Structure 1
């Protein structure tokens, strides 16, 4: 593992304009409205490691994924790949070199594959786009290799996506992502649409591919059991911000932030029967008008006046990075 991280994210921000049409705003005298989907997060991923981002739906996980692969242009902050800013790199003449090195696996294998294309065309598209093959015979051979790599038969190249199960379709998505021999894969809940038994097969395949090819993953999920299986480090997001960042073993053994504790307490565990648990309280606030101070304070049993007025900063406490006044003051 190199000293310098492969991916470095600094104060990343993304806001979306969700305002009403111009004429409506003029007639109703309303200002523009923005949603801060990602509100200043920072992390890094070492080469060959997996960072998992977890949190409730709408916390900004998928937006982070799209920012890292260049599908969105950030409103603020920076993403660096091997020390070079991707904001400038995606706009540069050598942008294809970056896109070959990072790829994305999407959440829904039923929506991410073109139903009108055969598997050979789906998997070969990045090969042709990046001129990695010179003729049809070479493309056919490479597609067969990629399908074998993800546990499918090379003869499946002549089939259409609707002829496969959900797990097989996700394997096709993985084969397409591996076509350019990337170093960094962004996985946006790649197993959430699959049955539990199929999830395990796909996750084990991804771990095997990581070990074989030295891949680096950003793994997005809301399933903590999946995160425990896949991650080296875990970042917990709430309303666009990172509230806790730690290595997997420490976070699952000693969660510090009240929100992380609530997430872990929500996992059924027969071995922990009788242990006092904190029930998940309240609802996620409206992102159009987030709470002042700590965004979690309306749901937090440890909140005080400082939590309601002052936004906590992600700081290190005993090897864990936490954004919580209660932890900083020793109240938790």
Structure 2
């Protein structure tokens, strides 16, 4: 199958320097953060790729780069064979935006509290000129709400009249309004209770099956990822360190960081397997370690790891960036 989304060498650098006058007076240099550093992956049509990693590893920046909220510093994002950065600067930008939508992390912040649900979910319909008359928009919004498990009568309500899980369903209905092919989901359930998370995830899986949707799913919760993903990519300090089909990644993780993340999940089955919780802290992104960024926390690190940055290579059907795996030390 051909990939719907192709990401090649994607990088994003943010200038986080102090203001010019402060730098002159205090003699400080300019500072840059490599939020995303040479990330490459593909997502097949109708499949879900999940990106996981600790806070600050660049997952949400990747999400924003894919939908064009940020412009890349280097590399490219191709959607259905076309460079999205070029299309978004052309007259065809609106047609592309219609085909890809985003669900944001916080359902309390992503909905306008002064608008009724009819206006929130109906905005993409008006913006893209899909439906112009008020009655048609209200009928379509009612249909969209019912598709995510809400009542048609909810079109008249305001966001404050809903729970967190219901608000996230409204966000999903809004994202589906333009009938997109690709949804970027930036931790869509992290602000919700566990029982509500399951309901929202099941709705998303059902919608994917019915509409053939393609998802990029951003999360730090591996239990959620296990439920929704086909492929899993593990990020660390702006780089992709491992990518594998879900079953392979959970049953036989290769990268030491992936192993540490999986070992941190509570062992409900009481298997008695030896476990190593995640050690140490994520390094300061303003001053990342030399060589492999994970080497200060890695139990298998040697001199090569601290001096030479590993490349992402395909080893046994899994893409992994680790000298220890490459040399057979793991």
Q: Give the whole-Å Cα distance in 1 for the aligned partners of 2:230 and 2:76.
A: 23
Q: Which residue does 2:278 correspond to in 1? A: 280
Note the C-alpha offset of 1:280.
Answer: 1.3
Note the alpha carbon deviations across 1:148-177, whole angstroms, 9 max, x for none: 111111110000000000100000000000
Q: Which residue does 1:40 correspond to in 2? A: 38
Q: Give the whole-Å Cα distance in 1 for the aligned partners of 2:27 and 2:151.
A: 61
Spell out structure 1 runs of 4+ moving beyond 3 A: none
Q: How does 1:1-332 map to 2 (within 5 A)?
A: 3-332=1-330
Q: Give the whole-Å Cα distance in 2 for the aligned partners of 1:112 and 1:74.
A: 24
SS of the residue corresponding to residue 227 of structure 1 reads helix
After TM superposition, the structure 1 stretch with the greater mean CA deviation from structure 2, 296-305 or 23-32, is 23-32
After TM superposition, the structure 1 stretch with the greater mean CA deviation from structure 2, 252-261 or 270-279, is 270-279
Note the C-alpha offset of 1:23.
Answer: 0.8
SS of the residue corresponding to residue 289 of structure 1 reads coil
Q: Is the 8 A contact 2:35 2:58 kept in 1?
A: yes
SS of the residue corresponding to residue 271 of structure 1 reads coil
Note the C-alpha offset of 1:238.
Answer: 0.3
Q: Give the whole-Å Cα distance in 2 for the aligned partners of 1:319 and 1:331.
A: 18
Q: Give the whole-Å Cα distance in 2 for the aligned partners of 1:16 and 1:178.
A: 31
Q: Give the whole-Å Cα distance in 1 for the aligned partners of 2:99 and 2:121.
A: 16
Q: Give the whole-Å Cα distance in 1 for the aligned partners of 2:311 and 2:274.
A: 29
Q: Give the whole-Å Cα distance in 2 for the aligned partners of 1:85 and 1:272.
A: 49
Note the alpha carbon deviations across 1:238-280, whole angstroms, 9 max, x for none: 0000000000000000000000000000111232432111221
Say what the alpha-carbon RMSD is for the aligned residues. 0.7
SS of the residue corresponding to residue 3 of structure 2 reads coil
Q: Give the whole-Å Cα distance in 2 for the aligned partners of 1:170 and 1:270.
A: 29
Gaps of 5+ in 2: none
Q: Is the 8 A contact 2:261 2:277 kept in 1?
A: no
Q: Is the 8 A contact 2:50 2:218 kept in 1?
A: yes
Note the C-alpha offset of 1:29.
Answer: 2.2
Give the TM-score of the pair, scaled to structure 2. Answer: 0.99
Q: Give the whole-Å Cα distance in 1 for the aligned partners of 2:29 and 2:107.
A: 39
Give the TM-score of the pair, scaled to structure 1. Answer: 0.98
After TM superposition, the structure 1 stretch with the greater mean CA deviation from structure 2, 159-168 or 132-141, is 132-141
Gaps of 5+ in 1: none
After TM superposition, the structure 1 stretch with the greater mean CA deviation from structure 2, 211-220 or 131-140, is 131-140
Q: Give the whole-Å Cα distance in 1 for the aligned partners of 2:314 and 2:113.
A: 48
Q: Give the whole-Å Cα distance in 2 for the aligned partners of 1:192 and 1:325.
A: 33
SS of the residue corresponding to residue 288 of structure 2 reads coil
Note the C-alpha offset of 1:134.
Answer: 2.3
